[in-house]
Structure 1
Amino acid sequence: MKTTILIADDDINIRRVTQLYLEKEGFQTEIACDGKEALDLLEQEKIDCAVIDVMMPNVDGWELCEKIKAFYEIPVLMLTARVDPDDTIKGFKLGTDDYVTKPFHPVELVMRVKSLLKRYRVASAGKITFNDITIDQSSYKVQIKDQDFMLPTKQFELLYMLASQPGKIFTRDQLIESIWGLDYEGDERTVDTHIKKLRKQFKNDEDLLQIITVRGLGYKLEVLS
């Protein structure tokens, strides 16, 4: 079964070029001229990844991204004509997985889509492997080189979520909602405490992976080669 990419943009030229390059790489595409059409397609078709413009009529990219992340387990790549740090922060808080700034080279966009899909497939497989590290969701075990680590449940889930998409920024709210649940009554310091413990646990392996603090947003995991 072919992988289907949703392209939502009110610029016909961008839709055509993006569609052409994605289909050239073997992807199937669904086209929407605005956010409302995109939401209708998401209800009707099986979509594996969404490439959406920020500025669209009816339902803009911000609202579309928020709704996708609330109801679908798929990666979202946002297209923006503005290089504004506030926009980037807003997008990551809403859950976007990556950004491409217009004008962009279609080959770069295709590569980013492929990378997002790969990261999501690795995460859904239940076992993440990179360098000399294996994080196994079935056994809650972390193996680094020849050494095994058994982490407390929440620490493991936090590490697994970060490692499932290396380089992606997760806000504290996203981490709390995913790991501790919507009814959690604590505060963001819980995430900070668990991050501190993870860093201490793997302080001797910083040449392989590092958990980076992104000021004003949250955390991301960097895999070092």
Structure 2
Amino acid sequence: MELKILIVEDEKQIASFIKMELEHEGYLTIISPDGRDALEQVKNNAFDAILLDIMLPYINGIEVCKRIREFSQVPIIMLTAKDDISDKVIGLDSGANDYITKPFDVEELFARIRVATRTLNMNQSKSLECSGISMNLDTHQVVCNKKIINLTKKEFDLLEQLLLNTNIVMSRDRLLQKVWNYDYFGDSNVVDVTIKHLRIKLDDTENKIITTVRGYGYVIRK
């Protein structure tokens, strides 16, 4: 099956180079020259992955990524010249699956695309359910006690880890590694803060859904 890739890049020479290399590997490609057009393309077409620059006309790549995540979980790989750690963290926090800086090796790009699309296929039609919570990994919809809950990406990822490890106490360090991937350089208290926000949204005021294991971490029990 041929995979369809959206290339969001305003520099024509770079976009043409990526398009040529991808099509040589058997991918179908569409080039989008700006953020506004990219959003329209994603709304009107089914893509298997998106290569997304950050510095774009009309709407920057970070905002494009955030808006796409409101309705789609298509794999997004940031492809940009911005290589500061802070830029990478912002890109990943906005919903990107991966981040590659320019100049890049085309073979590495192919490998990253293979990983991103393979992960998507593994997660197709997958859902998690426990303690009155239903999480759809395709649509990122979370329902708690028959009520749809709107979560940020990090809240979703944290809840996903707890549901994947039902009855297993997850330490703060383990959650930090799994959800923030050690790209977060702030206070490790970020786990506790995110748990607090999750509990509010899940109406878990008595901590019956997410249980605190004092001095260690958190667990969701069946």
Name the TM-score class by shorter chain: 0.5 to 0.7
CA RMSD of aligned residues (A): 3.5
Aligned to 1:223: none
**TM-score normalised by length of structure 2:** 0.63
The 3-state SS of whatever aligns with 2:69 is: helix
What is the distance in 1 between the residues matched to 2:97 and 2:32?
A: 20
Give the fraction of aligned pairs with identical amino acids, expressed as a percent. Answer: 26
Matched, 1:16 2:16: yes
Q: CA deviation at 1:67?
A: 1.3
Deviations 1:2-30 (A, max 9, x none): 32100011111221121112111211001
What is the distance in 2 between the residues matched to 1:67 and 1:21?
A: 28
The 3-state SS of whatever aligns with 2:26 is: coil
Match of 2:168 among 192, 201, 221: 201
1:21–1:110 contact (8 Å) kept in structure 2: no
The 3-state SS of whatever aligns with 1:124 is: coil
Q: What amino acid does structure 1 have at the position aligned with 2:33?
A: C
Q: CA deviation at 1:197?
A: 10
Which blocks of at least 5 consecutive residues in structure 2 are unaligned?
195-222
Deviations 1:159-216 (A, max 9, x none): x96xx9xxxxxxxxxx9x74755358xxx7xx58x7499497389xxxxxx7525344
What is the distance in 2 between the residues matched to 1:40 and 1:79?
A: 20
Aligned to 2:121: 121
Aligned to 2:59: 59
Q: What amino acid does structure 1 have at the position aligned with 2:149?
A: L
Matched, 1:182 2:138: no
What is the distance in 1 between the residues matched to 2:104 and 2:166?
A: 36
Q: 1:198 to 1:100 in 2, by over 3 A?
A: same
Q: 1:69 to 1:183 in 2, by over 3 A?
A: closer
Q: 1:113 to 1:200 in 2, by over 3 A?
A: same
The 3-state SS of whatever aligns with 1:70 is: coil
Which blocks of at least 5 consecutive residues in structure 1 are unaligned?
127-136, 141-150, 165-174, 204-209, 220-225
Aligned to 2:26: 26
What is the distance in 1 between the residues matched to 2:150 and 2:32?
A: 35
The 3-state SS of whatever aligns with 1:79 is: strand
Q: CA deviation at 1:125?
A: 4.9
Q: 1:183 to 1:200 in 2, by over 3 A?
A: closer
What is the distance in 1 between the residues matched to 2:164 and 2:116?
A: 28
The 3-state SS of whatever aligns with 2:46 is: coil
What is the distance in 2 between the residues matched to 1:119 and 1:197?
A: 16
Deviations 1:48-85 (A, max 9, x none): 21101000111110111111111223010011212212
Q: 1:123 to 1:12 in 2, by over 3 A?
A: same
Q: 1:14 to 1:152 in 2, by over 3 A?
A: same
2:23–2:29 contact (8 Å) kept in structure 1: yes
Q: What amino acid does structure 2 have at the position aligned with 1:33?
A: P
Aligned to 1:170: none
The 3-state SS of whatever aligns with 1:71 is: coil
Deviations 1:98-150 (A, max 9, x none): 00001101121111111100000000053xxxxxxxxxx58x7xxxxxxxxxx
What is the distance in 2 between the residues matched to 1:197 and 1:31?
A: 37
2:143–2:149 contact (8 Å) kept in structure 1: no
